[in-house]
């Protein structure tokens, strides 16, 4: 999947690189001026793409725009804002230079390792539980009484699969990615992860 995304981006850049350059510059401007809103909208867009991909893989077509809208709203209202504040908190918590969430001092190996561990035993598992609840309630239209059973049954396998992907992603993110781009990087990784999770949810036919 990532291979095809890279090919598409490469073709777009070689076809008209100036358009992508202008778009990127505008994105950076909005990211600097309105970081929270920009990250939330980016998360919504990438979440919507992941649902479209999941539906097409599962059914060979696209069946539910309402489902895609719900997934996009989840990205807008939770995924983007939560990742924004979490990344700022982690940077602040491990800062050693007194600059808080804007510092770039805490990138030594041991500090990065601690960040990854904290990220993977707190924020990551919570996000997975919430997403399972969301897919059960909204995408699968299950009653509240069934959500606990669904989470209890599916969560262990989901979390084990998450630990095959996200620790490496977090390591790269905390070590090499500037803080203002960390949510964007996570969103791109989440394109693959969210597609996987959405494929586990039943695709609803439009009413």
Q: What is the pLDDT of residues 72-109, one digit of tens each?
A: 999 999 999 999 999 999 998 988 766 655 566 667 88
Question: Could you identify the residue written with the tokens 């919504």?
Answer: 44
Enumerate long-range contacts of 94-99, CB under 8 Å, 24 or more apart.
none
Residue 35 phi/psi, 5-degree rounding, is: -60, -45
Which pLDDT tens digits describe the chain residue by residue (207 residues)? 444 444 444 555 555 567 778 888 899 999 999 999 999 999 999 999 999 999 998 888 888 899 999 999 999 999 999 999 999 999 989 887 666 555 666 678 899 999 999 999 999 999 999 999 999 999 988 998 899 998 999 999 999 999 999 999 999 999 999 999 999 999 999 999 999 998 877 654 433
8 A C-beta contact, residue 35 and residue 84: yes
Q: What is the pTM of this model?
A: 0.84
Asked if 146 and 136 count as a contact pair (C-beta separation under 8 A), the reply is: yes
- Quickly tell me which residue has 């035993």 as its tokens: 121
Contact 47, 75 (CB under 8 A): yes
d(CA 26, CA 83): 21
DSSP string, 140-163: S---HHHHHHHHHHHHHHHHHHHH
Rounded CA separation 127/186 (Å):
13
Q: Distance between CA 202 and CA 61 in Å, rounded?
A: 14
Residues 64/55, Cβ–Cβ less than 8 Å:
yes
Q: Assess contact for 194 and 47: CB atoms under 8 A.
A: yes
Write out the H or E segment, with its range, that includes residue 108. none
Note the Cα 64 to chain centre separation in Å: 21
Alpha helices in the chain (DSSP H): 2-15, 17-33, 35-59, 65-74, 80-93, 109-118, 124-134, 144-176, 182-200
């Amino acid at each position: 999947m990532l291979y095809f995304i890279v090919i598409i981006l490469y073709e777009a850049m070689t076809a008209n690189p100036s358009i992508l350059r202008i778009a990127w510059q505008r994105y950076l401007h909005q990211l600097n001026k309105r970081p929270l809103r920009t990250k939330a909208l980016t998360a919504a867009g990438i979440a919507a793409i992941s649902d479209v991909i999941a539906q097409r893989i599962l059914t060979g077509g696209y069946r539910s725009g309402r489902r895609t809208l719900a997934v996009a709203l989840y990205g807008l209202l939770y995924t983007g804002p939560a990742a924004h504040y979490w990344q700022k908190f982690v940077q602040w918590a491990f800062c050693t230079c007194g600059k808080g969430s804007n510092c770039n001092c805490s990138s030594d190996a041991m500090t990065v390792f601690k960040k990854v561990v904290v990220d993977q035993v707190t924020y990551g598992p919570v996000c997975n539980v919430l997403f399972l609840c969301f897919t059960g309630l909204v995408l699968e239209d299950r009653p509240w009484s069934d959500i606990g059973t669904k989470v209890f049954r599916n969560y262990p396998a989901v979390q084990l699969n998450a630990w095959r992907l996200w620790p490496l992603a977090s390591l790269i993110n905390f070590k090499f990615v500037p803080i203002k781009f960390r949510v964007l990087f996570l969103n791109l990784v989440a394109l693959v992860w969210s597609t996987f999770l959405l494929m586990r949810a039943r695709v609803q036919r439009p009413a």
